[in-house]
């Protein structure tokens, strides 16, 4: 069902817009500690930029192939989030208590800041990959459909 879009306007505009969306998503992700936003919104926007690419350039386009590669990272975000908590546990603190992360040259507040940043990256990765994965689930892309005749 995912075929490349015919219109030149749509293709040109999305070629311009996709990097902008990704830049804004990264801004929202890394400045979530200073303004509105954070891991959730940043992840959704990263995912949506790739979804736009998939819908416009079709199943043979670069975004679709990149998204297929990204889908192998399903669960990495959750591992990052829980892993930061686990590192806190290993370093002798409580689970998800970032002040026990032993980062040199960082006081208590700075450690919590870095812990929040790392877990936000984890959330963003998890949500972006999940959004792409749900889009692939909802749109049947049969690799075998064109080459192999159905047997029944």
Partner 1 sequence: MIFSFEIPLLILLLLTAAGAIIVKDLISAVLILGSYSFVLALVWAWLGAVDVAFVEAVVGAGLATVFFLLTLFNASPKDTEIRRQPVPFIAFLGLPMLGLLLLFAAEDLPEFSDPKSPASVHVSPEYLEQSYQKTDTENVVTSVLMDYRGFDTLIETAVIFTAGIACALLLRRDSK
Q: What angle do CA 66, 69, 72 make, to 5 degrees?
A: 145
CB-based contacts of 113: which residues, under 8 Å, 6+ apart? 33
Query: Counting contacts by CB under 8 A, is residue 46 touching partner 1?
Result: no
Report in angstroms how near the CB of residue 7 gets to partner 1 at its nearest.
17
The DSSP line for 93-117 is S-TT-GGG---TT--HHHHHHHHHH
Only segment of 8-16, 30-38, 59-67 that touches partner 1 (CB under 8 A): 30-38
Binding mask 48-77 for partner 1 (x = CB under 8 A): x--x---x------------------xx-x
Measured CA distances, 147 to 59, 142, 143, 144, 150 (Å): 15, 10, 8, 6, 10
Only segment of 11-19, 62-70, 111-119 that touches partner 1 (CB under 8 A): 111-119
Please select the residue that binds partner 1; options are 61, 67, 81, 101, rule is CB under 8 A.
81
Structure token pair of residue 113: 């800041």
Nearer to partner 1, 66 or 96 (CB): 96
Query: Counting contacts by CB under 8 A, is residue 102 touching partner 1?
Result: no
The DSSP line for 109-150 is HHHHHHHHHHHHHHHHHHHHHHHHHHHHHHS---SSTTTS--
The residues that touch partner 1, with contacts defined as CB under 8 A, are 1, 28, 32-41, 44-45, 47-48, 51, 55, 74-75, 77-78, 81-82, 85, 96, 98, 108-110, 112-113, 115-116, 119-120, 122-123, 126-127, 129-131, 133-145
């Amino acid at each position: 069902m995912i075929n490349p879009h015919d219109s030149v306007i749509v293709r040109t505009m999305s070629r311009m817009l996709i990097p902008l969306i990704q830049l804004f998503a990264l801004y929202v992700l890394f400045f979530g500690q200073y303004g509105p936003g954070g891991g959730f919104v940043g992840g959704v926007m990263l995912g949506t930029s790739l979804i736009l690419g998939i819908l416009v350039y079709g199943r043979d386009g670069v975004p679709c192939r990149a998204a297929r590669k990204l889908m192998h990272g399903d669960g990495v975000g959750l591992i990052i989030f829980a892993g930061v908590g686990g590192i806190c546990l290993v370093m002798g603190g409580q689970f998800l208590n970032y002040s026990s992360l032993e980062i040199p040259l960082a006081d208590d507040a700075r450690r919590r800041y870095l812990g929040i940043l790392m877990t936000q990256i984890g959330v963003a990765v998890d949500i972006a990959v999940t959004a792409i994965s749900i889009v692939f689930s909802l749109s049947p892309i049969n690799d075998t459909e064109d080459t192999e005749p159905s047997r029944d």
